[in-house]
C-alpha cells in the first residue's frame, strides 16, 4: 500500500470529487502526471473492468468510474509538454451508418479513455468516408465499429472494404461489437477482433497493439 492508493480506490468506486482532490494532492507532493495515470488511474480502471468481467460490478459502476477518470484526466492532460504523451494509443470509434444506438458504444469509449487511450468518438450513423477521414486525421491505431441492429451490422463490411480500397487497412486494427455481432461475423468481414463487452475490448485492444 502507498499513500496514494486511495486515488486508485476512488476510481474503482467512482468517487469523482475525492479522485480529483487526491490528484491535486499527488501533484502537490511531486508525482508526475504520467506516473499518476499509469500507477493509479489506469490500475483503478483495470480493476473495475475485472470486477465487471466477474459480474461483481455493473454498467452503472463502469460509468461512474469512467466519469471519475475523466475528471482526473482533465486536470492532468494540460500538464503534459509538447512531445510527451498521456495515451497508449489512438482509437476512432463510432456506430455505423443507419444505426442510431450509442449507449454501449459510449461505454466502450469511456473505458478506452479511462484505460489510457486517446478516443475520437464519431457518434452515431457514421459513414465509411467519415471513419476514413478520422483515421487519416488522427493517425489512429484502432478503429472500433458498433452496431445494434442486424440490418446495420453488414455495413461494417463496407467500412472494411473501403479501408482496403484506400490503402489504410494494414495501418489500423479493426474491432467490432454490438448485440448481433459474434466472433464468426468478425472473421467473415475481415475484422481483427470482436469484443462482447467494454472490459474485454480494452484487453483485446492492448493485445492488438502489443501494449502490456
pLDDT tens, 133-176? 999 999 999 999 999 999 999 999 999 999 999 999 999 999 99
In angstroms, rounded to a whole number, what is the distance separating the alpha carbons of residues 200 and 73?
22
* % of the chain surpassing 90 pLDDT: 66
Mean pLDDT on 73-82: 83
Name the pLDDT band for 2 (thresholds 50, 70, 90).
low
Question: In this predicted model, what pLDDT tens digit does every residue of 117-137 receive, in sequence order?
Answer: 999 999 999 999 999 999 999
Match 487511450 to its residue by C-alpha cell. Answer: 117
What is the band of 198 on the pLDDT scale with cuts at 50, 70, 90? Answer: confident
pLDDT of residue 83: 56
Greatest CA separation for the chain? 54
- Residue 119's SS3 state is strand
Q: Helical H runs in the chain? A: 5-13, 16-28, 33-36, 42-53, 59-76, 103-114, 128-138, 155-165, 183-189, 198-208
Residue 69: how many other CB atoms lie within 10 Å:
27
- pLDDT tops 70 at residue 50: yes
Is residue 130 within 8 A of residue 122, CB to CB? The reply is yes
**Residue 179's closest CA among 121, 101, 122, 113?**
101
Say if residue 85's pLDDT is above 80.
Answer: no
Nearest CA to 202 out of 120, 114, 93 is that of 114
194 beta partners: 176
Q: Measured at the alpha carbon of residue 182, what is the angle toward residues 179 and 187, in degrees to the nearest 5?
A: 140
Side-chain-facing half-sphere of 75: CA atoms under 13 Å: 21
pLDDT band at 82 (very low <50, low <70, confident <90, very high): low
**What pLDDT score does 37 carry?**
87
pLDDT digits (tens, 9 = 90+) for 91-103: 999 999 999 999 8
Per-residue confidence (pLDDT) for residue 193, from 0 to 100: 96
Domains along the chain with CATH numbers: 5-79 (1.10.1240.10), 90-208 (3.40.50.280)
Cell of 9: 480506490
Whole-angstrom distance, CA of residue 106 vs CA of residue 95: 10
Mean of per-residue pLDDT scores for the chain: 91
Amino acid at each position: 500500500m502507498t499513500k496514494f492508493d486511495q486515488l486508485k480506490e476512488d476510481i474503482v468506486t467512482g468517487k469523482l470529487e475525492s479522485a480529483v482532490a487526491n490528484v491535486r494532492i499527488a501533484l502537490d507532493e511531486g508525482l508526475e502526471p504520467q506516473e499518476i495515470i499509469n500507477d493509479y488511474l489506469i490500475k483503478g480502471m483495470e480493476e473495475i473492468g475485472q470486477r465487471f468481467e466477474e459480474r461483481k460490478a455493473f454498467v452503472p459502476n463502469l460509468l461512474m468510474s469512467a466519469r471519475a477518470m475523466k475528471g482526473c484526466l482533465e486536470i492532468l492532460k494540460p500538464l503534459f509538454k509538447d512531445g510527451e504523451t498521456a495515451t497508449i494509443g489512438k482509437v476512432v470509434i463510432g456506430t455505423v451508418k443507419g444505426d442510431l444506438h450509442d449507449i454501449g458504444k459510449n461505454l466502450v469509449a469511456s473505458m478506452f479513455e479511462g484505460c489510457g487511450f486517446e478516443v475520437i468518438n464519431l457518434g452515431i450513423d457514421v459513414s465509411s468516408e467519415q471513419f476514413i477521414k478520422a483515421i487519416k486525421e488522427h493517425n489512429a491505431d484502432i478503429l472500433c465499429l458498433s452496431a445494434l441492429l442486424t440490418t446495420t451490422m453488414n455495413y461494417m463490411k463496407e467500412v472494411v472494404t473501403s479501408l482496403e480500397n484506400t490503402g489504410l487497412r494494414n495501418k489500423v486494427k479493426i474491432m467490432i461489437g454490438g448485440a448481433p455481432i459474434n466472433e464468426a461475423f468478425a472473421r467473415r468481414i475481415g475484422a481483427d477482433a470482436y469484443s462482447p463487452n467494454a472490459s474485454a475490448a480494452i484487453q483485446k485492444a492492448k493485445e492488438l497493439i502489443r501494449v502490456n
